[in-house]
Structure 1
């Protein structure tokens, strides 16, 4: 095998969206440690081989397919060849999918990669060049199309059990207003009008993660925003409701697969040229 090329890793973020995060990135080798986040990660490999561990197996994404990583599923990321890999990815909160599906279990793509043309077509708007801002109404239409495409590819759920979507949504909204303090499951149950364990079950099925993990992720969202605005790691951790910097860093690394410092470094690198593939 020849000597590995000296290539620079970078991550390019799309213009701001209130609803989802869109990135384009290149990694020459190692990208992310094992981690899990509470969003769908849906993407497309543009060049190279994008390899990752997912559900006790090694996956290899090539150009032409669609990556669909389910919320809270452990995965990592690295190049499958010495040329590195170039990809685009969108991170979508399950709550957005539920606004379309209205209380059905979240669609699950078993192997994390799909060659179904319906998913490829439904992601074309959201996975276009990061330099192109998406019109708000176009983005809403694209999210609707994606939710239905996911449901169509997966098919009807075998379990016909009903879930209390409205109660779970009340609990989710309450969490957003209490990021800076301790929340108990009993308090969420009182706010939602649902008993504790039914609420906990429904929340996981409908939003892809537990109430505590959801709270932690929203705190990490705040940390990332504060870091980008120049706050120190210690200050951002305390403002977002973590015990201290080390507490925040542990959760950050387990969620994003890299440390806050490396995340900031790669975020600031930027591509020399971002292709419009």
Structure 2
């Protein structure tokens, strides 16, 4: 890690799948990736450039939907520092008739910013307080910026079928050509449909799926080398490289966060 950088990842006391990242990055750059969760955060200092020429500075609230491809790197040598909640879809879904989509990416909104910072400070309080203030912050954000998800394109059924096959066979996946043949199409049409639907080519989606599976195994107590092998990475170093590129932390830091929450909660790791 570069001088002046730090990373702390924690599991929120409400649920182990609900992560909280506090970090400062100067040289680290996130590759194009997506999360299965909402990523809702506040820039504390400095400025970050997101995908497609979007810029977030100190005080801005960043709102990213699940499965939305994005990247991130510092705009200046100062880097940027931020807090981010990684909120599972199920945590939000229960309050709406349909899964909501965030309609803005970067906002300068004092009300939302203050609510999120209050929720951040409450993480070390009792579970009821932490849960209540996080729920209030999310209600604020989705009340202001929640909407219906966009319609998918005509290639979505083929892309979804391809994703399901890759997920089921993530350890030894078929080639793009084999996948296209299984689905009765050609490799170029499949690649186009997959990019249009998920914002990534199949191989990049597969890598991120493996990282997600590794997270699940680590939460259940698996060793890092074992988790890497179980999801199809060559070795632990291979897992670590993609883990940090996607999540900004190492598998070891993630495991420590899970273990810390387990000790605090006084119960076994949850799946």
TM-score by length of 2: 0.61
2:95 maps to none
1:24 maps to 20
Q: Cα–Cα, structure 1 residues 252 and 86, in superposed 2: closer, same or farther, change >3 Å? A: closer
Cα offset, 1:201, TM superposition: 0.9
1:52 maps to 48
Choose from 9, 12, 27 the match for 1:11: 9
The number of aligned residues is 229
Higher helix fraction: Structure 1 or Structure 2? 2
Cα offset, 1:256, TM superposition: 2.1
Distance in 1, matches of 2:22 and 2:239, equals: 26
Unaligned runs of 5+ in 1: 94-99, 271-277
Contact 1:42 1:68 in 2 (8 A): yes
Q: Cα–Cα, structure 1 residues 175 and 256, in superposed 2: closer, same or farther, change >3 Å? A: same
Distance in 2, matches of 1:246 and 1:12, equals: 22
Contact 1:11 1:267 in 2 (8 A): no
Contact 1:13 1:22 in 2 (8 A): yes
Residues 1:188 and 2:175 aligned together? no
1:42 maps to 39
Q: Cα–Cα, structure 1 residues 266 and 116, in superposed 2: closer, same or farther, change >3 Å? A: same
Cα offset, 1:13, TM superposition: 2.8
Unaligned runs of 5+ in 2: 90-97, 124-129, 262-271
Choose from 233, 243, 260 the match for 2:251: 260
Residues 1:33 and 2:33 aligned together? no
Cα offset, 1:249, TM superposition: 2.2
Distance in 2, matches of 1:31 and 1:236, equals: 29
List per-residue Cα deviations over 1:91-135 (Å, max 9, x = no partner). 679xxxxxx79xxxx9996xx523489xx6xx99xx997742999
1:113 maps to 106
TM-score by length of 1: 0.60
Question: Greater CA deviation, 221-230 or 169-178?
Answer: 221-230
RMSD across aligned positions (CA): 4.8
Equivalent residues in 2 for 1:21-170, closer than 5 Å: 22-27=18-23, 29-30=24-25, 33-36=28-31, 37-39=33-35, 42-45=39-42, 48-49=44-45, 51-55=47-51, 59-63=55-59, 65-68=61-64, 71-76=68-73, 87-90=83-86, 113-115=106-108, 131-132=130-131, 146=146, 148=148, 163-170=154-161
